[in-house]
Amino acid sequence: MDYGRQKRLIIIAAIIVGIWTVGPFFWLLWASFMQTSELNQGIVKWLEDPTLQNYRRVFGLAGDDEGYDAIFGAQTRAVGIGFINSLLVAVPTAVIATAIATLAGYAFGRFEFRGKTGFLFALLLTRVLPPVAILIPYFTLFRQVGLIGNPVSLIITYLTAIIPLLAWVLMGYFATLPLEVERAARLDGCSRLKVLWYVMLPMAAPGISAAFIIAFLFAWNELLFAIILTGGGKWQTLSPALIGVSPIGALGLTPMVVFAAASTLSIIPPVIMALIFQRYITRLNIVDPVTVRA
C-alpha cells in the first residue's frame, strides 16, 4: 500500500471516531438552544432563533414563562439544587474511598503476605455485586433507622461499590513505582507509614488523582441508589433531579429542550474530569489479580 493512501485512510478512520464520539454531544447542545416548537419540526435544521430560555429555566431566572413555571418550575429548579447536593456527596465519597483504597493498594501492591491472593479475590469479587442487590437490604435497614433522605446513607452505599475498583487500580500503580527511593528512606530509618506519607504518596500522585476522579465520576453519575435514597427529598442529588425533568421513555412530560439544557450543565464537571483523566489513564497499570506478585 502506498504511503499517501494509508495516511488518508488513517485520517478518515480518525474522523469517524471523532464523529461517533462528539456527534451526540453536539445535538444535545443544539437542542438546548431550541424552543419546543422549533424542536418539533426536527432537530436537524439550522438554529433560526437560538434561545437561552431553557438555561434560564434551570437557574430559575426565566420570569414570566407562559405557564411553564406553574407546571414544571419546581422540578426544573431541583436540578440546580441537585448540582450542589451532588458535589456535597461526591467529594466526601471520593476522598474517603481514595484514602481507604490507597492504604489497601499500597499493602497489596508493595508487600507479600500470607493470604494475599485470597484477600484480593474477596475484595475484587464484591466488585461484581449488582447495585440493586446491595440496595434492597440497605433500603430496608436505612428505613428502620431513619436514614432515608440523608446523604450519609448515599455515601455509605457508594463506598461499597467503589472501594474494590479503586484498590485494584491503585495496587497496579503502586506495583509499578521503583523500589529504590522507598528502600533508601527505610534505610534512613523512616517508618513504614512515614514512607507511605512522605515518599510513596508524592510518587503515586498521578495514580491517586486518577482514583479520585473515578470515584467522583461514579458518585456524580450514579442513579439507582440516589433515586431510592434521596429522590424527592431535600438532599436529592443531580441524577434523580435529571430524571425529574426527563421526557424520555415512560418517565415524564417535561420539554426535551429543558432536559437538554439541564443535561448540558450536568456534564460539565465530568467532561472536565475526563479531559484531566485521559492524561493518566494510559499510565495506569491494571494488574492481573491472579498472578500478581509485588
Of 86-125, binders to other proteins (CB under 8 A) are 100, 103-104, 106-108, 110-116, 119, 121-123, 125
* Cβ 166 vs Cβ 93: under 8 Å: no
Site for other proteins contains 14 (CB under 8 A): yes
Return d(Cα 287, Cα 218) in angstroms, integer: 21
Binding to other proteins, residues 262-281 (CB under 8 A): 263, 266-267, 270-271, 273-275, 277-278, 281
Binding to other proteins, residues 208-247 (CB under 8 A): 217, 220-224, 228, 239, 242-243, 246
Residue 143, CB-side half-sphere exposure with 13 Å CA sphere: 7
Binding to other proteins, residues 21-80 (CB under 8 A): 21-22, 24-25, 27-28, 31, 39-45
Quick one: which of 159, 154, 156 has its CA closest to 97?
A: 159
Site for other proteins contains 197 (CB under 8 A): no
Of the candidate residues 61, 132, 152, 201, the single one contacting other proteins (CB under 8 A): 132
Q: Under 8 Å CB-to-CB from 57, ≥6 apart: which residues?
A: 65, 68, 69, 72, 73, 76, 258, 261
Which part of the chain contacts other proteins (CB under 8 A), choosing from 54-62, 70-78, 127-135, 145-153? 127-135
Return d(Cα 32, Cα 63) in angstroms, integer: 18
Return d(Cα 166, Cα 182) in angstroms, integer: 22
Quick one: which of 161, 172, 262, 269 has its CA closest to 217?
A: 269
Site for other proteins contains 258 (CB under 8 A): no
Of the candidate residues 55, 212, 235, 259, the single one contacting other proteins (CB under 8 A): 259
Binding to other proteins, residues 167-196 (CB under 8 A): 167, 172, 175-176, 178-180, 182-183, 186-187, 189, 191-192
Closer to other proteins by Cβ: residue 63 or 178: 178
Question: What residue has cell string 428505613?
Answer: 143
Site for other proteins contains 201 (CB under 8 A): no
Which part of the chain contacts other proteins (CB under 8 A), choosing from 58-66, 72-80, 146-154, 159-167? 159-167
Q: How far is the CB of 69 from other proteins (least distance, A)?
A: 22
Angstrom distances, CA of residue 208 to CA of 37, 87, 173, 182: 48, 19, 9, 17
Q: Under 8 Å CB-to-CB from 135, ≥6 apart: which residues?
A: 157, 224, 225, 228
With CB under 8 A as the rule, give the number of residues binding other proteins: 116
Return d(Cα 82, Cα 237) in angstroms, integer: 4
Site for other proteins contains 250 (CB under 8 A): yes
Of the candidate residues 2, 64, 66, 288, the single one contacting other proteins (CB under 8 A): 288
